[in-house]
């Protein structure tokens, strides 16, 4: 009896292994990575936890396959991500455009992570477009543009990190994910889901469980990500909540803004405003939050929503941007006041009037 059970178990493992659906894309990627290549990984401007984690995690995996790997960020990363293994080796296009262009020109393969269109990587987009390298897209944003040769696009994924894990796993290399690589990938899971509060699917938790089993210390990681703020960050948050917030009670919309003077007064650097927009959604009845930033040459807007309201549509239609249904952004050349007024005009088109 015991023997029979054992045989059945072996048969099950055999069938499962060989029945694993090997998609056409995975086959192509396996072929592409079958001998050492010059590889460049590029992610979007103003890289966030998912962009950084997926890029550095994939880089660390590809190095294990003996490829020569470079990572390019179009602009600087927030200093709070300095703990990510290997991040100091990443190139920053804004700081050294020639080195970044040379890396692109020498590449056999370019991975494009966490963005869906070449305009999201600024001037690097042109170099990528005209490069002869094979382009591999791994992304979870809506409406990817057709610029890649191999596309892993899944808008139901919580994060690009989740997809990078899936791709590595389907290549049969889950065991090549060491704790450092796993920490990179877990970073995107945590940050793009607001600590597993939104954008998840059952598979997200499977990936989290797998990464934890592979040795990721999620408690320590969350501490590194969230408890590393400087005094000025908390003072800036206080300023935003106390002095720069307006509520459209009739429609359940929160609007916040920062002026160029605020940027100087609070010494705001790249990444310092990340996460602030979400505070408005903590208020009862608030369904949409808009955070408008008066940056040196452009007005940047961050939009967040709850439930069925698509800020992706609003960002695309009115603010020259895009992203996800519940988290989008855009950039417009206009005055701060014009954009605040525009937000006030646009929101009633998307939200019912409340009886308050
Ligand atoms: P955030 O508000 O944090 O800057 O961005 C939220 C989401 O919107 C991110 O997924 C980001 O990729 C997307 N996003 C932000 N700014 C832009 C933009 O200017 N254009 C497009 N297409 N997407 C953006
Ligand atoms: Mn992402």
Instruction: Give the ligand at the shortest distance from the Cα of 323.
Output: 1
Atom of ligand 1 nearest to the CA of 44: 12
Q: Report the nearest-CA residue for atom 7 of ligand 1.
A: 328
pLDDT at 174 > cutoff 50 = yes
Tokens of 222: 């969350």
> Which secondary-structure segment (H or E) carries 294?
strand 288-294
CA distance 278 to 312: 16
- Residue 200 C-alpha to ligand 1 middle, in angstroms? 19
Mean predicted confidence (pLDDT) in 109-136: 95
**Ligand 1, residues at Cβ distance < 6 Å:** 44, 120, 302, 321-324, 327-331
pLDDT digits (tens, 9 = 90+) for 253-289: 999 999 999 999 999 988 889 889 999 999 999 999 9
End-to-end CA distance of the chain: 70
Distance of CA 96 to the CA centre of its chain: 23
- Residue 27 C-alpha to ligand 1 middle, in angstroms? 31
pLDDT at 18 > cutoff 50 = no
Q: Report the nearest-CA residue for atom 13 of ligand 1.
A: 323
Q: Report the nearest-CA residue for atom 23 of ligand 1.
A: 322
pLDDT in the model for residue 20: 47
Q: In this structure, are residues 271 and 78 in contact, taking their beta carbons and an 8 Å threshold?
A: yes
Mean predicted confidence (pLDDT) in 210-219: 98
With the most atoms of ligand 1 within 8 angstroms of its CB, the residue from 303, 313, 323, 324 to mutate is: 323
Atom of ligand 1 nearest to the CA of 321: 20
Atom of ligand 1 nearest to the CA of 302: 2
Cα dist from 41 to 106, 171, 344, whole Å: 12, 18, 39
pLDDT in the model for residue 283: 97
Band of the pLDDT at 19, cuts 50, 70, 90? very low
Q: Report the nearest-CA residue for atom 19 of ligand 1.
A: 330
Atom of ligand 1 nearest to the CA of 141: 10
Set out the domains of the chain in order of their start, with CATH numbers.
Answer: 2-226 (3.90.1640.10), 232-349 (3.10.310.30)
Neighbour-count burial of 296, counting CB atoms closer than 10 A to its CB (0-12 exposed, 13-18 middle, 19+ buried): exposed
């Amino acid at each position: 009896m015991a023997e029979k059970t054992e045989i059945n178990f072996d048969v099950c493992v055999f069938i499962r292994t060989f029945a694993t659906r090997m998609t056409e894309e995975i086959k192509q990627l396996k072929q592409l990575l079958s001998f050492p290549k010059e590889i460049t990984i590029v992610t979007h401007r103003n890289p966030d936890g998912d962009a950084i984690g997926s890029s550095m995690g994939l880089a660390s995996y590809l190095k294990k396959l003996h490829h020569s790997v470079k990572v390019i960020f179009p602009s600087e990363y927030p200093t709070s991500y300095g703990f990510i293994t290997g991040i100091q080796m990443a190139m920053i296009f804004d700081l050294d455009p020639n080195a970044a262009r040379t890396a692109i020109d020498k590449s056999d393969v370019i991975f494009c992570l966490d963005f869906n269109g070449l305009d999201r990587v600024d001037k690097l987009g042109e170099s990528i477009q005209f490069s002869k390298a094979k382009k591999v897209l791994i992304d979870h944003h809506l409406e990817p543009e057709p610029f890649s040769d191999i596309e892993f696009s899944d808008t139901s994924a919580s994060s690009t990190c989740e997809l990078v894990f899936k791709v590595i796993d389907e290549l049969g290399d889950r065991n090549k994910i060491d704790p450092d690589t796993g920490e990179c990938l877990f970073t995107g899971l945590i940050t793009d889901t607001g600590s597993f509060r939104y954008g998840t699917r059952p598979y997200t938790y499977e990936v989290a469980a797998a990464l934890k089993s592979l040795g990721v210390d999620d408690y320590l990681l969350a501490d590194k990500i969230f408890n590393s703020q400087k005094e000025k960050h908390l003072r800036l948050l206080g300023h935003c909540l106390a002095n720069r917030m307006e509520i459209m009670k009739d429609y359940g919309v929160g609007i916040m803004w920062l002026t160029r003077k605020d940027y100087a007064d609070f010494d705001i650097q790249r990444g310092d405003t990340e996460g602030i927009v979400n505070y408005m959604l903590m208020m009862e009845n608030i369904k949409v939050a808009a955070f408008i930033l008066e940056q040196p040459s452009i007005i940047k807007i961050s939009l967040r929503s709850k439930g069925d309201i698509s800020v992706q549509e609003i960002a695309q239609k009115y603010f020259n941007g895009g992203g996800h249904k519940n988290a989008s952004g855009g950039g417009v050349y206009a005055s701060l006041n014009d954009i605040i007024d525009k937000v006030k005009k646009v929101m009633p088109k998307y939200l019912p009037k409340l009886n308050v």
